Amino acid sequence: MKISLSHLITVTAKKWMQQMTKSKKFEEGALRKHFGLKKDEKITMAMLDKELSRLSKKYPDGGYSKSDLELQKRLQAAMNMMSRG
């Protein structure tokens, strides 16, 4: 039985996301809390782009503080998940 490469990539990506959300570092609602949104409000790609842009301007050389690095990783992970959905 042959498995197509696209199927394998899709399955691997889904498992990667499942593992990430089960991580102790993953805090559900952290970005919503950061943006000050209520549970029924959605985070948009524009919000994520704007915040990532702000962080990159704040640290042009890439030397993020610990809290800002965590925020940057959350923003990037959210963008990745939104683009896959």
Q: What is the pTM of this model?
A: 0.69
Residue 38: inside a domain, yes or no?
A: yes
Number of domains composing the chain:
1
Return mean pLDDT, the chain. 80
CA distances from 15 to 9, 18, 74, 82 (A): 10, 5, 18, 16
pLDDT value of position 61: 85
Residue 2: inside a domain, yes or no?
A: no
Percent of the chain with pLDDT over 90: 29
Residue 16: inside a domain, yes or no?
A: no
Residue 63: inside a domain, yes or no?
A: yes
| pLDDT of residue 13 exceeding 70 | no
The whole domain housing 62 covers 27-84
Residue 20: inside a domain, yes or no?
A: no
Residue 46: inside a domain, yes or no?
A: yes
3-state secondary structure the chain: CCCCHHHHHHHHHHHHHHHHHHCCCCCCCHHHHHHCCCCCCCCCHHHHHHHHHHHHHHCCCCCCCHHHHHHHHHHHHHHHHHHHC
> What is the per-residue pLDDT across 38-79, written as a single tens digit (0 to 9) for each?
989 999 999 999 999 999 898 888 788 888 888 998 899 889
